[in-house]
Each structure stands twice: as C-alpha cells, then as structure tokens.
With several copies, the nearest count.
Chain A
C-alpha cells in the first residue's frame, strides 16, 4: 500500500472524499448544495455517472437523507454529504436509518454555527454527531480525518464499517479540510460489485418478502430491538482508532481531533523544541471514542489539554474517560476561528504551570 510520495495527486479535501467514495464503489449519491462542501456534489455530478452510479441533487437535505434511506434499503452503497445546518435537517432521517439498520455514509463538513452562522471551519457538531443519531438511542459511527489522505482513507473505511455494522457511518470534518488541498494517494475499495445484502428490498423474485422498518409498536419488541442495537454499539468498540504522537514520555498531553489535531501537533513539536515533553492524543474514531487510550494517558501525564473548534464538546468524552484522575483543561475557538500553534503552545505552558503550582 505504500505509495511513492510523487505518485500523489494534489486535491481538495472535498474532491478527495468524493473520489474515494467512487473508488469504494458508491452506487448512488444524493445531496443538496451547501458551502463548504458543494464540491463533493459537483465532483459526483461530473464523475459518478461515468462509473455507472446515480447522482441526484435532492430538493433538500431532508429529501436527500430519505433518498439515502431508500437506496440503502434497496441494497446499494450510498452516501450523502452536507454541512452543519444540513445535518440538523437530517436528524429525523438519520434516526430512521439507525432504527432500520441501514448502512450508508454521511459526510459533515462542519461550518460555524449556530443557525446560519458562517462558512468557516468548525467542530461544533461533535455532540450532535457522536451522542445520538436524531431522537432515540441510536448512534452513528463517526470518523474524524486530520489530513486529506486520511479523509480519503476514512471515507473508504466508512463504507466498510457501515456495511459491517449495518449502521450509518459519518465522516466528521470541517470547512478547511474540505477546502484545502494536499497530496493524496487513493486505495481501491472493496471488490466491485459488492454483494447485495439478503435483507435488502430488491423486489427480486418470489422468496420471502423483505422489510425495511423502524416501527415496533409493542414496547417489549422495541426494547428488544434497542437491546440488539446497543449490543451492536458495544461490538463496534473494537473499531476504535486513535493516534498517539510523542506520547511515550509525555508529561502533558493534548487531545484533539481533525484539523485541530494537526494544529496541536505543530504546537507539540514547538513545545518539544522548547524542551517541554508534550504529546498528542488524537482520536480518529470519535464514536466509538478512544476511552481506553485517554484513560491510559490519564495515568501517565500531569494534565490533558483538549483543543477544539467548539465551546467544549469532545472534552466531555475525555473527562468521562479520565474520571478525575488527571486535570483536564479546555481550549476552544469558536465561530470559525481556527486556533493557531502559538496559541495552543501557550495553553500547554499554562496547563503545565497550573499543574506545577498545585
């Protein structure tokens, strides 16, 4: 799989995601334009039909997610992409998708909120993505790429995980990762065409009929269904992925994901350059969350600094993992402002001095 660095192509994150999906064998894409992710739709419009897939611009995000439901239920590899307000509109559909256990991929290129906000990068939809898929107790699998290479790789992985667990998989990224360019090398997806699942409503033949459904009128039946789902979420824990950078001898850890993680990485490098033993703990899956990795770090470091482009969301998962065993501090920028390496470095130093003072 190792690719010579020069074999890589320079691509926007949005386009790399679209291309990765095509290579993963996506058979249908339904979406509605919204900045900063419209390039995904545009790339699909230009290229998916030539690969035999269906591209359709839906009349809204509500329609798009329900088209995804229909196509996924009919057994196709399918995806949609949008940005924050669009994800809000998809909450009901997502809940139906988790309830009916349909595999599909959703891309959220987060932008500044709340409301119309702006089109600058953000990480303020973390709770919405990780804590629940709409109403009810459903969950999305959530993958958070930090580079464009990873955006492509995780898009591919998202399709596989979605199929493996019959569950929506979300790639949670941001306006900068969507809009920036970086070299990327593509891997090919699973063998095409993948098998049509037996549960899919393909209207084929005279065998027993198939049903895609989330209504269970009897509480006991709905409870049993939910228990199955919860049991599945527990099984998903094996998919947890995270990266530890310079954590071996770290006395202070930065926890961050996505764009913020790579900014934090530069800050960690600068801290090391100043002789501070900082490390980076980077969740790659944010649901399932790398609780164990955080808990382990808690036993080692003098403090954890969580950095997000939000008012503090992932930091709750860090705190839940750490359970008070080490101080957890938070640094966030809001509304599309991106933290810079010097800012993060300053926070690392501040955390250290705070910890020492105690």
Chain B
C-alpha cells in the first residue's frame, strides 16, 4: 500500500522525531511524497512528543491527521489519547515496554512489541524506536526496509556510519517480532 497517515506518540527523548524522519526520508528516496510534522509540549525535557508522517503517491494535502491509518504508541498516555482516533482497520503498533494495557478497539490491526527488550538484546537501548519502525513496516510496508537503511546511511556523518548497521538490525528485529503476530500474507511480505 503506497500511502499512509501515521501518528507516532510518546515521551520526549524516545526518538520519536527521528523515527518519523527516517521513515519520511525513505519515502522520499522512493520518489514518493511525504510530510513530517512534529508537535511538542512546552517542556524542554520530559514532555510529550508527537510526530505525524504522511506518505502518498500524490501531492499531500493535509500534513495534519485527525484519523490516522497507522499509529505507533510509545507510552500509556499516548495509547489513551490516540487509540480512539484511529481509522477503522488502522495498524496500531504498541510499545509493550511502556504501555500496560491492551487496546480497547477490536477493529484495528494490533502489533505489540517489547521494544526495550529487543533493543536491550542488541545492547543499544537507543534503537528501540527503530524496532517499532520495523514492526510498522512489517504490518504496513509503505516503504522498503532497504530505503530506510539508505535514509539511515544518509543521516549519519562519515565518522558515525557504523551506527547504520545496528539501526538496521533493530529494524529487522522489530519486523520479525511483528511478523510473528501478523496474519500470513503480511508476514510473507516482510521476509
């Protein structure tokens, strides 16, 4: 599916904006249209952070999304706030390490990943965000994993290119974790 209206929400400091940026950049590398829109609370630290990413084949109208068709929720308040807004049939990626309740709605495609655990397994807690992006792309392959890898490569300066690999590993781990929860067709696509 070539278009997506995604909201990523959580605490500041969870790498939300970066997750969104890499996804957006990947879409652009694929020649798609894409918008990335942040929204912060007032605090410099410890506030909430939201990021909206829209990807489409056509020029994008609203970068503001009221009813997302994809959601990544990184903490409990975000779950409470955004679950009700999701469009019917939307994908909901839940950061199981921080969200202590199951979703209430039955009309969503839910993937719950313990991103912190996955990242710890890689010995790199910072890449939890990429785990979740991987999970999202498993459920909704709006861009190729490969494009995200290119976006990451383009992001890091020469002296930090070694970080690309660990991020890509996190992506694939997330995708794999998601694949385990998804119906056959989608998981096939991830492989």
Contacts and interface: CB of A to CB of B under 8 A. Distances in A.
Nearest to B28: A183
Interface residues of A, number: 27
B44 to A, nearest CB: 11
Interface in B92-116: none
- Interface of B, secondary structure class, is loop
Interface in A225-270: 259, 262-267, 269
B63 A176 contact: yes
Given A6-B29, A217-B42, A269-B61, A182 B34 contact: yes
Interface string B51-74: 000000001111111110000000
B63 A340 contact: no
Given A181-B36, A183-B34, A266 B61 contact: yes
A220 to B, nearest CB: 12
Interface string A177-212: 001111100000000000000000000000000000
B21 A341 contact: no
A217 B42 CA distance: 7
Contacts of B34: 10, 182-183
B60 A6 contact: no
A180 B36 contact: yes
Given A176-B37, A182-B36, A217-B42, A262 B28 contact: no
- The interface residues of chain A, by DSSP majority, are classed as helix
B51 to A, nearest CB: 10
Contact of B61 (A179, A182, A265): A265
B24 interface: yes
Interface in A116-143: 119
B63 A262 contact: yes
B66 A340 contact: yes
A179 B38 contact: yes
B35 interface: yes
A-B CB proximity, top 8 nearest: A266-B61, A340-B66, A265-B61, A181-B36, A180-B37, A263-B62, A266-B62, A5-B31
29 contacts: A5-B28, A5-B31, A5-B32, A6-B28, A6-B29, A10-B21, A10-B34, A10-B36, A119-B42, A176-B37, A176-B63, A176-B64, A179-B38, A181-B21, A181-B24, A181-B37, A182-B35, A183-B33, A217-B42, A262-B63, A263-B61, A263-B64, A264-B61, A265-B61, A267-B62, A269-B61, A341-B61, A341-B66, A343-B66
Given A5-B28, A10-B28, A119-B42, 6 more contacts: A180-B36, A182-B34, A217-B42, A264-B61, A340-B65, A340-B66
